[in-house]
Amino acid sequence: MSNLKAVMAALTLLAIGTALASQAPAAPAAVPVKHPTLKSCNRQATAKKLAGKDREQFVKDCLANKTPAAAPHVADTPAH
């Protein structure tokens, strides 16, 4: 009888595991927004030859997506 109980317990666990695994993952609530990174904003500031307060303000605005130049460049995207 104990072998029968062990087999039934194993089958029950297997059925529960299969049911959990077959559930579809939850869909993301929203599409993630790609924000510029400090590295890419600093690269843009360097390309514009900004220094001092102008550079600080540009990087701050870039990180907040307040500058038109905050859009990622082709060079900022990883190569495939």
Residue 45 CB neighbour total at 10 angstroms:
19
User: pLDDT per residue over 5-63, tens digit each?
Assistant: 887 777 787 777 676 666 666 666 665 656 678 898 999 999 999 999 999 999 999 98
The answer to whether 62 and 36 have CB atoms below 8 angstroms apart is yes
Place of tokens 């900022």: 76
Question: What is the C-alpha radius of gyration for the chain, rounded to an integer number of angstroms?
Answer: 27
Place of tokens 């062990």: 6
Domain boundaries, the chain: 2-76
> How does residue 71 score in pLDDT terms, banded at 50, 70 and 90?
very low
For the entire predicted model, the pTM comes to: 0.42
Give the per-residue pLDDT at 55.
93
Q: C-alpha angle with apex 36: 33 to 40, nearest 5 degrees?
A: 155
Q: How many CA atoms lie within 13 A of 14 on its CB side?
A: 6
Give the per-residue pLDDT at 52.
94
